[in-house]
Structure 1
């Protein structure tokens, strides 16, 4: 049930308190409720869903009950070997094994006992497909679409998707819908599919400010919320965790605040931190992500790191040794009409398609445009040390823009005027004119285009080996008739570009935990009653991004482990809630 803090009594007791209502936190709360616990889910913002609600909702779980439907050949040994080779010593092998073992159990447990349902994508390659043990299908799960009308008034609690990822004023579409909409004049099946979507959306808009057919991350959050409400979980939004109370038996209570209300809430089993990580922390961000403007972050606003500060106050510590402290994607930025900032992640729709290149200030290519978005973001920052590549410039011609779009500019080549007027999209009748308007080197750009045009003919990118892995080819154009699905010429005037920045899409560095998701102190001992999952926890991927959904997958698996351990602990915990406790306030708030 959705409550306000005023309606909870002082010193009221819950079995489990979960801090943060993103995908990991909601999953942990649901598992605890399924196991019979009295659960309190606390969210600092007005919405549930966190960054998961913005995402594709892809969940990387090797060996799930759905894997065999698309890939009978994958094995647990394959997945473990793949992670060992891809991640290596950047994370604990024991933690990776715990994830691989718990993930399939978590999927089966939640699906058997709730409205959360997944399916395997028929084709969704691991991003590091060149690494032995990778697969093309079976590990990436996606949530089934969800009818938001089932939530009634609670539908308004779900964080809306990014407007730039919807059409017609709030209609959500997934990758299958996009294909049907683009082909609706060429295929009767696509026409029928598109007409059903449009009719449903028209009905929705008569009673709702946006579409109620939820897909991708919104579908996952919708299913989780519906299941939590069915299980009677108490949900507080707009509520802050001010303190953790630690006594003789570990974390025994939390202090919560909302407007003028303040409550001390007892906890029998434990507190699970799933607040999204440090990405908007007022101090830690600058230290851990130097040079990355927070305006480039496309994540939801709740990941301030305040819950992690409380954990540090009771002895927790941050992990070390990751490839990067965050996961990255190239993003473009534009001011919306209402004055807010739109941050658009360039995942797969444009940069890797034929007729697209990315260049730096000198007009030169500096990376493989078809690499994963995480490696793309890292490469931008590394290259910037020797030649200005932040921003970088994603360049195409009129044909590339028409076929694939460019960031927030959708395919078709129409409606360009507002994007050109505010400078988001830059146009040049010649390459020299485009370079001048971007302020980049004309000769460098001309040379880069000439080189890519030669490579489009031969199919071989002699500079960056674009289109040489299964993952890269999957993000090219399957209908392209050239020798390389990722390489095409740039030559049809006018020419276009958007500016790209490295945007952090989630934290990779977080609190160190064990294989039960118990937060560890500086002596590697568990802090009794304190757990972490999602981006609050040190990533088992070690800052590497080996496949789609490698944040949501571990978030689900360790949320499951944390919840089950906390529930079991609560059933045997000593009733010590009246004992004197120590109040821990984060250092920056003192």
Structure 2
């Protein structure tokens, strides 16, 4: 279906969190908005994510009795993002992030709540907090979308139960305690019963959590404001009127059609995680083409902006945000990528080893720091193997990768090569091409300290961040346990990106800049199309979605409040 009009006030390219935020804010200001999405779904990578939103000094913290201030956040970022580049954008983020969240909650369907126990990645640094800077989406009932629910990108099947049931992070311990705790067993039974009823009416569960709930809430906001969304359409070019972006040329089916934008165009296409040329240009050689992002993130926004004269922000210590990932094949033949963010690495009874069979990192570090250690150890080799090693006790209690806890048979995972099993460590080493003597010595050294809950080599479990993702019921160290019970297992992991950090240069109003620092009139960017304000550093969980919502909001406000455009028919509208 082609757009209903030839001219809109605002055109947003991409229906992820940043793009939908910009569209919702602009529409709330009375502007006619068109969202162009190249796939058949809204949500982008956000719909697959944990939905965490990092916003320091937000009002939700204060309401929950948690203290924070912009001054504390500045102090924290001064050590975790030490580079001077993009300091002005970080200042804009800290100043307007809380404003963006308050506005979204007052004017859209977005509802967030503070995660009281979610430490910053470096809790020992000055200005860090133990929780509250991270906001998570409030559960959303997908049936509120009506028929449009079919347009919401489903979550990754590996993060659901029973073929489509989502659960929130607080319910995970209840499912692990089924049969052990009456309260947990009853809680799990109620959730499963509710899911069974939902499946009578829907192809998947309609109780939405995490990033799927955030994407659904933003989508519901666009529907309520009658924002047009054009699906399965590619933007071929940006239209120019002099040196101003005045619209786009789209290809929908076999037709090309120009569409005018009176106020401006917002680029929010998701970065370039799946573009081979840009990956080769910016990514380290040790990073294979493995990404946990949506496959539609192919650098469309960057190419369009470059043709309009935009400059890239390459001031990044890392070109991407990282997570270790395991690879597998789904039943339909598609390749699956499972990001090992917080589900297993910090739990007691697993270690990570390099090609030689030696530990190379504190396994409980943040997902980003973990992969930086992989890249350092890889020394530029594009296919250097790394593995997670555990025993049968760990696999049963915590699972590994997409293998869920209490899985009675792991034979399908072994048959596919995703999981390797052996009766002893020496044979396991041989199967993963590590030196048996080295891996045996590695386990012996680790187990010696683990008997007392210590990790003399890397200090695992030494911070509240690390302990938060361990097993609080395991004493004395929630992140450390011996690996002794046969059979033993190995799973290969790869450096994978969670999104790109290199993107377009923008100013504090989210306007795309030329190399000389002047803004390109009528062109904005947010999300991963915008260069990382953290310069590729990862100071906390939700470091991508926090700026995406904030600068999407800033772009929408600036478009709605901006001066009268030069296009015919433009009107001044206040938010």
- 1:158, distance to aligned residue in structure 2 (A): 0.9
Which segment is superposed worse, 451-460 or 57-66?
451-460
- 1:261, distance to aligned residue in structure 2 (A): 2.8
- From 539, 546, 566, the equivalent of 1:574 is 566
Separation (CA, whole Å) in 2 of partners of 1:29 and 1:341: 32
* DSSP 3-state at the match of 2:81: helix
- From 4, 9, 16, the equivalent of 1:8 is 4
Alignment of 1:334-353 (within 5 A): 334-353=328-347
Deviations 1:458-479 (A, max 9, x none): 4432222222222111122111
1:528 match = 521
- From 383, 390, 406, the equivalent of 1:396 is 390
2:28 match = 34
For the 8 Å contact 1:256–1:262, the answer to whether it is kept is yes
Indicate yes or no: 2:82 matched with 1:102: no
For the 8 Å contact 1:90–1:541, the answer to whether it is kept is no
Distance of aligned partners of 1:527 and 1:386 in 2 relative to their CA distance in 1, 3 Å threshold: closer
Separation (CA, whole Å) in 2 of partners of 1:71 and 1:81: 21
Which segment is superposed worse, 81-90 or 324-333?
81-90
Deviations 1:320-354 (A, max 9, x none): 22110001000000011110011000011211111
2:470 match = 476
- 1:388, distance to aligned residue in structure 2 (A): 9.0
1:44 match = 38
Alignment of 1:111-510 (within 5 A): 111-248=105-242, 250-291=244-285, 295-385=289-379, 390-482=384-476, 484-510=477-503
For the 8 Å contact 1:95–1:540, the answer to whether it is kept is yes
Separation (CA, whole Å) in 2 of partners of 1:35 and 1:187: 51
- From 539, 542, 556, the equivalent of 1:546 is 539
Deviations 1:468-506 (A, max 9, x none): 222111122111123x22111011011011000000110
- 1:290, distance to aligned residue in structure 2 (A): 3.8
- 1:508, distance to aligned residue in structure 2 (A): 0.6
1:23 match = 17
Separation (CA, whole Å) in 1 of partners of 2:383 and 2:128: 31
Separation (CA, whole Å) in 1 of partners of 2:516 and 2:111: 40
Separation (CA, whole Å) in 2 of partners of 1:189 and 1:29: 43
- 1:387, distance to aligned residue in structure 2 (A): 8.4
Distance of aligned partners of 1:56 and 1:368 in 2 relative to their CA distance in 1, 3 Å threshold: same
Separation (CA, whole Å) in 2 of partners of 1:344 and 1:136: 27
What is the TM-score normalised by the length of structure 2? 0.96
- 1:386, distance to aligned residue in structure 2 (A): 8.0
For the 8 Å contact 1:272–1:531, the answer to whether it is kept is yes
Deviations 1:190-215 (A, max 9, x none): 23321221112111211221111111
Distance of aligned partners of 1:402 and 1:322 in 2 relative to their CA distance in 1, 3 Å threshold: same
Separation (CA, whole Å) in 2 of partners of 1:328 and 1:573: 40
For the 8 Å contact 1:70–1:137, the answer to whether it is kept is no
- 1:294, distance to aligned residue in structure 2 (A): 6.2
- 1:306, distance to aligned residue in structure 2 (A): 1.5
Separation (CA, whole Å) in 2 of partners of 1:577 and 1:297: 43
Supply the RMSD in Å over aligned alpha carbons: 1.7
* DSSP 3-state at the match of 2:83: helix
- 1:233, distance to aligned residue in structure 2 (A): 0.4
For the 8 Å contact 1:90–1:321, the answer to whether it is kept is no
Which segment is superposed worse, 451-460 or 46-55?
451-460
Distance of aligned partners of 1:356 and 1:62 in 2 relative to their CA distance in 1, 3 Å threshold: same
1:588 match = none
- 1:186, distance to aligned residue in structure 2 (A): 3.0
Deviations 1:363-393 (A, max 9, x none): 1001111111011111111101188983201
- 1:288, distance to aligned residue in structure 2 (A): 1.1
For the 8 Å contact 1:427–1:494, the answer to whether it is kept is yes
For the 8 Å contact 1:508–1:538, the answer to whether it is kept is yes
- Tell me, which stretches of 5 or more residues in structure 1 are unaligned? 579-590
Distance of aligned partners of 1:257 and 1:80 in 2 relative to their CA distance in 1, 3 Å threshold: same
- 1:425, distance to aligned residue in structure 2 (A): 0.7
Deviations 1:414-473 (A, max 9, x none): 121101111111000011111111111111111111111112134432222222222111
2:510 match = 517
2:573 match = none
Distance of aligned partners of 1:90 and 1:442 in 2 relative to their CA distance in 1, 3 Å threshold: farther
For the 8 Å contact 1:90–1:322, the answer to whether it is kept is no
- Tell me, which stretches of 5 or more residues in structure 2 are unaligned? 571-575
Separation (CA, whole Å) in 2 of partners of 1:159 and 1:143: 16
- 1:561, distance to aligned residue in structure 2 (A): 0.7
Distance of aligned partners of 1:293 and 1:206 in 2 relative to their CA distance in 1, 3 Å threshold: farther
Separation (CA, whole Å) in 1 of partners of 2:111 and 2:487: 46
For the 8 Å contact 1:56–1:217, the answer to whether it is kept is yes
Distance of aligned partners of 1:490 and 1:388 in 2 relative to their CA distance in 1, 3 Å threshold: farther
- 1:248, distance to aligned residue in structure 2 (A): 3.1
Separation (CA, whole Å) in 2 of partners of 1:501 and 1:92: 30
Distance of aligned partners of 1:387 and 1:29 in 2 relative to their CA distance in 1, 3 Å threshold: closer
